Amino acid sequence: MMKVYQFCCPKCNNNQNFNRYGKDLDGYQKYLCRVCHHQFSPDRPRAGEGETGRPRQRPYPLCPMCGRSSFLHHDYEHYSNFRCGDKKCNHAFFSFKGNAIAPPSMSALFGKTNFKRMRYPVFLIITALSMFYLGKNSFRNISLILRTAFNVKVSHTAIANWCIRFAPLFDNMRIKLLPMLDLNSDEWHTDETVVKIAGVKHYLWFVVDSETRFIIGFHLTPYRNSPQAFSVLRGAADHGKPGSIVSDRYSAYKVPIKSIYEGVMHIRVMSFKDDISNNLIECFNKQFKAWYKTKQGFSSYRSANNLISMFVFFFNFVRPHSALDNLTPAQVAGLNLSKKQKREYFLVA
- Please write the tens of the pLDDT for every residue from 247-271: 998 999 999 999 999 889 999 987 6
Residue 321's pLDDT band, with cuts at 50, 70 and 90, is low
Res. 50: pLDDT tops 70 = no
Residue count of the chain? 349
Q: In this predicted structure, what is the pLDDT of residue 117?
A: 87
Name the strands in the sheet holding 79-84, side by side, starting at the edge strand that comes first in the sequence: 70-75, 79-84, 92-96
Q: In this predicted structure, what is the pLDDT of residue 1?
A: 59
Q: In this predicted structure, what is the pLDDT of residue 295?
A: 78
Res. 87: pLDDT tops 50 = yes
Q: In this predicted structure, what is the pLDDT of residue 322?
A: 52
pLDDT of 58-79, one tens digit each?
578 888 888 888 888 999 989 9
Q: In this predicted structure, what is the pLDDT of residue 348?
A: 37
Per-residue pLDDT averaged across 31-44, rounded?
A: 86
Angle between the N-to-C axes of helices 156-165 and 301-317, in degrees from 0 to 180, rounded to the nearest 10: 80
CA 131 to chain centre: 29
Name the strands in the sheet holding 29-33, side by side, starting at the edge strand that comes first in the sequence: 18-23, 29-33, 39-40
Looking at the DSSP bridge assignments, the partners of residue 220 are 204
pLDDT of 105-133, one tens digit each?
999 999 999 998 899 999 999 999 999 99
> Which residue, among 89, 53, 52, has the nearest Cα to 69 in the 3D structure?
89
Per-residue pLDDT averaged across 175-179, rounded?
A: 84
At the topology level, CATH places domain 184-311 in Nucleotidyltransferase; domain 5 (3.30.420)
Res. 148: pLDDT tops 80 = yes
Region label for 201, one of left (φ > 0), alpha (ψ between -120 and 50) or beta (otherwise): beta
Rounded Cα distance, 67 and 46, in Å: 24
Cβ–Cβ under 8 Å, residues 248 and 229: no
- What is residue 337's three-state secondary structure? coil
Cβ–Cβ under 8 Å, residues 107 and 172: no
Mean predicted lDDT score pLDDT of the chain: 84
In sequence order, which residues have a C-beta less than 8 Å from that of residue 263 and are 6 or more positions away?
A: none
Res. 178: pLDDT tops 80 = yes
Rounded Cα distance, 193 and 134, in Å: 20
89 DSSP 8-state letter = T
Domain ranges in the chain with CATH number 3.30.420.10: 184-311
Q: In this predicted structure, what is the pLDDT of residue 280?
A: 87
Per-residue pLDDT averaged across 5-32, rounded?
A: 84
- What is residue 84's three-state secondary structure? strand
DSSP codes, 229-279: HHHHHHHHGGG---SEEEE-S-GGGHHHHHHHSTT-EEEE---TTSSS-SH
User: Minimum mean pLDDT among 87-91, 192-196, 318-322: which range?
Assistant: 318-322
Rounded Cα distance, 278 and 189, in Å: 7
Angle at 138 between CA 172 and CA 132, to 5 degrees: 25
> Which residue, among 258, 259, 216, 266, has the nearest Cα to 104 in the 3D structure?
216
User: Between 338 and 159, whose confidence is greater?
Assistant: 159
Res. 334: pLDDT tops 60 = no
> Which residue, among 39, 42, 38, has the nearest Cα to 53 in the 3D structure?
42
Rounded Cα distance, 116 and 8, in Å: 66
Type of residue found at 41: S
Q: In this predicted structure, what is the pLDDT of residue 349?
A: 37
Q: In this predicted structure, what is the pLDDT of residue 324?
A: 52
Q: In this predicted structure, what is the pLDDT of residue 271?
A: 61
3-state secondary structure 90-143: CCEEEEECHHHCCCCHHHCCCCCCCCCCCCCCHHHHHHHHHHHHHCCCCHHHHH
> Using alpha carbons only, how large is the chain's radius of gyration in Å?
27
Per-residue pLDDT averaged across 91-103, rounded?
A: 90
pLDDT of 223-242, one tens digit each?
999 999 999 999 999 999 99
pTM: 0.75
Residue 65's φ and ψ, nearest 5 degrees, are -90, -45
> Which residue, among 126, 145, 35, has the nearest Cα to 349 in the 3D structure?
126
Res. 82: pLDDT tops 50 = yes
Q: In this predicted structure, what is the pLDDT of residue 229?
A: 95
